[in-house]
Structure 1
C-alpha cells in the first residue's frame, strides 16, 4: 500500500491553486512533494504558500527525480499527452485535466497504456460530482423518467466576452474552443445519464472578435466561443447541448446550468445559478405538474448549501471526490472514476463534433480513429 502518496503537480494555474492544491493539502494520505511551472517564480510563490519542498521549471526533471507516486496535470491541453505518457512510463499514477488530449488517438493511447500497466488515472469532469448531477443519475437509473427520450442541456458563461487572448481559444494550445472547454463537461454528464453516444451533429460559432496575437506576440488560430451539438444515443434517445462563453451571466461564478430530461415515464429538470440555487424538480406520469425534488442528505454528505460555491468547495476540498478521491483510490488500490478510458470516450465525442462542424454532416462517433 502506498501511504502517504507523494504527489507532484504540473501547472500553476488559478485552478491548480484553488482546487487541486487545497484538496491535496487536507487529505491525510497525500503529501505535496513537488510543483512544476514554466514561470518558476510563480511556482516558487505557490510552493511557499502550500509548503511544497521541491520546485521545478521542467516536468522531465520532476519525473526523473523519482520521488513521486502520482502527478496532477493542470496545464494547457497541448501538454497533457506528453506529460501523462512520460509520467505513466515512469510508473506514476496520473490525474489529468480535461479534455484529456489534443486528439482521440492520443487519448486512446493514454487510456490503453494506463489500463495495460495498472496505472490509476482520473479525468476530473467536475460537474458530474455535484449533488444535482448525482441525484439526477440516481433518479434516471431508478427509472424515474422511464425510457429516455431526449435531453436538453445548456451551459452559459461569459469568460470570452472581453475578447482578450486566452489559451483556451488558441487551437494550437487547446485543440478546440468552448466545445472542448465546456462541451466536454456536458458530454460527460449526458453519457453518464443516457449512455453511449452514437452520432453527433455540431455547429460552432465565433461571435466575439478576439485578439489576433497570443501572449508572445504571435498569430494563432482562434477557436469557437459557442456551440450547439445534437446527439443521438445508442439507446435511441436524442439530445441537444448548447454551450456559450459569451453570455452575460451576473452570478458569483459567472455561469448558469440548465438541464431537462424527458422519457416515457416522466420529466426531470435541473437548474444551477451558481449563486444560491441548485435544484432538481420533476414529475412522473400521473403525478401532475413538475415539483421540487429534495436532494437526499446522503448525497450532500455534510456539504454546505448556503451558496453553490460553498457546496463546490466542500464537495472537492473536504469530501473524497475528484482530486481527493484520486488519492484515496491509490491508497486503497482501486481505480478512480472517471478514468482515462472514460476521458478517451469523451474525447471521441469531441472529435466527432468538430468534424461534423467542418464537414456539415452527422458523424458516427465510432468512426473516429484519429
Structure 2
C-alpha cells in the first residue's frame, strides 16, 4: 500500500524516535517532516528513518513546518512544558494531532488546550501508551466484562529505573515536567479512570525525592522531582485506587503490576511478563480454580519501542479514527483529567493533605 497520510514529528528525542520506528510498521503513513531545535536530536531521527530520511524535511519550529502545508498529521513528542506553545499553530488547522502525555505540564495550560480542542476539525488524540499494552488492554476488558464482579479496589505498582537524562536536563525540574506525578504518573491516573469508569473526587499522595538526583546540580539548582510515592485516589462511584511508585527499583523483575479486586474475584496483570492471573475468592481453598493466561505481543511491535508494543497499537487506533471515523479513545479532555489528578497529587505531597478535585476543577 502506498502512503496515504503524511506525518510530521515534533520533538525527535527518545519518544519521538519511538514514534518514528513504530510508524514504520504502518504502511498508511509516511514521516515527511521532523521538527527539533537540537541538531543531535534531528540526527537521531534521521538514523531511525534510515533510507527514508532523504525525503524528510527538517525544521527548527512548528510554525515553519505548518507554513509548508504538506502534512496530514502531527505527532508531538517534545518536552512537556513546550506542548501548549507547540499546539498553538496546529489547533484549528484541521491537521490530525497526537500529543504525547502529559497534555501540558500545568493544569491551566491543559484546560486551555482541552477547551480549544473541542473545536479542532482533525482528530485530536492524547498519547497514553499504557492503555495499549496488549496485556493491560485485556485486563481492562475483563474488569469491564465483570470478571471480578463489582470492582472495589484497584492497585498499580511501578517499580523502575530513575528518569533518564534528557536534552537540557529539562526533566529534572517540576516547572518543566509538572512534577513526577504529572509527568510519569498521568499514565496510571488515565488507566485508573479508564478501568474504574468514573471521575476522581479526592487524592492523597505521600511522596518525596529521597534517593535519586540528590547530588545533582544544574546551573546551581537542585532537582525537585518526586522519586517515590504512594497515592490514593477516591472515585465518584466509590472505587478506591492506589499507585505505588519507586524510581529507584531497577532490579524489579516486573516493572508494572496492576491488580483489580472485586466482590467476586481478583485479577492481576504484570509487565513485561504479560501474564493475567484470575483468582476467585474461593481459590484459597480451591487453588485449582486460579487461571493463568499469557498475552503474547507481536515481536515487531515490541522491537519498535520500549512500551511493550503499545506505541504501535496506539497508532493503529489513532489511524482507525482518522481513516475510518472510529471514536477517539483518548481525547484532550481525557488528557486534562489525567493532568488534573497528577496536579492534585503534587499539591497533596507538598502540603501533606488530601486534595478534593473540586479545588482544582475548571
TM-score range, shorter chain: 0.7 to 0.9
Distance 1:316 1:353, change over 3 A: closer
Q: For residue 283 of structure 1, what is the aligned residue in structure 2?
A: 279
1:213-252 CA distances to partner (integer Å, 9 max, x unpaired)? 33xx36365211122101111111212111121113266x
Q: For residue 194 of structure 2, what is the aligned residue in structure 1?
A: 192
Distance 1:143 1:160, change over 3 A: same
Distance 1:348 1:161, change over 3 A: closer
Q: For residue 367 of structure 1, what is the aligned residue in structure 2?
A: 359
Give the count of matched residue pairs. Answer: 350
What TM-score results when the alignment is normalised by the length of structure 2?
Answer: 0.86
Equivalent residue runs for 1:110-129 within 5 Å = 110-129=113-132
Q: Of 182, 207, 213, which aligns to 2:217? A: 213
SS in 1 for 2:214: coil
1:236 paired to 2:268: no
Q: For residue 156 of structure 1, what is the aligned residue in structure 2?
A: 159
Q: For residue 249 of structure 2, what is the aligned residue in structure 1?
A: 247
Contact 1:40 1:55 survives alignment (8 Å): no
Give ranges in structure 2 of 5+ residues lacking alignment: none
Separation in 1 of the partners of 2:170 and 2:276?
Answer: 34
Distance 1:188 1:170, change over 3 A: same
Give ranges in structure 1 of 5+ residues lacking alignment: none
**Shift of residue 211 of structure 1?**
5.0
SS in 1 for 2:136: helix
Separation in 2 of the partners of 1:313 and 1:264?
Answer: 30
Separation in 1 of the partners of 2:164 and 2:314?
Answer: 29
Greater alpha carbon shift after TM alignment, 179-188 vs 4-13: 179-188
Q: For residue 327 of structure 1, what is the aligned residue in structure 2?
A: 319
1:344 paired to 2:346: no
Distance 1:308 1:204, change over 3 A: farther
Contact 1:172 1:220 survives alignment (8 Å): no
Q: For residue 14 of structure 1, what is the aligned residue in structure 2?
A: 14
SS in 1 for 2:207: strand
Separation in 1 of the partners of 2:327 and 2:347?
Answer: 32
Separation in 2 of the partners of 1:45 and 1:157?
Answer: 25
Q: For residue 38 of structure 2, what is the aligned residue in structure 1?
A: 39
Q: Of 48, 62, 65, which aligns to 1:62? A: 65
Distance 1:271 1:23, change over 3 A: closer
Distance 1:345 1:66, change over 3 A: same
Distance 1:237 1:250, change over 3 A: closer
Equivalent residue runs for 1:157-176 within 5 Å = 157-160=160-163, 166-176=169-179
1:353 paired to 2:345: yes
SS in 1 for 2:88: helix
**Shift of residue 107 of structure 1?**
1.4
Distance 1:194 1:74, change over 3 A: same
Contact 1:172 1:221 survives alignment (8 Å): no
Distance 1:6 1:310, change over 3 A: closer
Distance 1:316 1:309, change over 3 A: same
Greater alpha carbon shift after TM alignment, 221-230 vs 331-340: 331-340
CA RMSD of aligned residues (A): 2.9
Distance 1:58 1:312, change over 3 A: closer
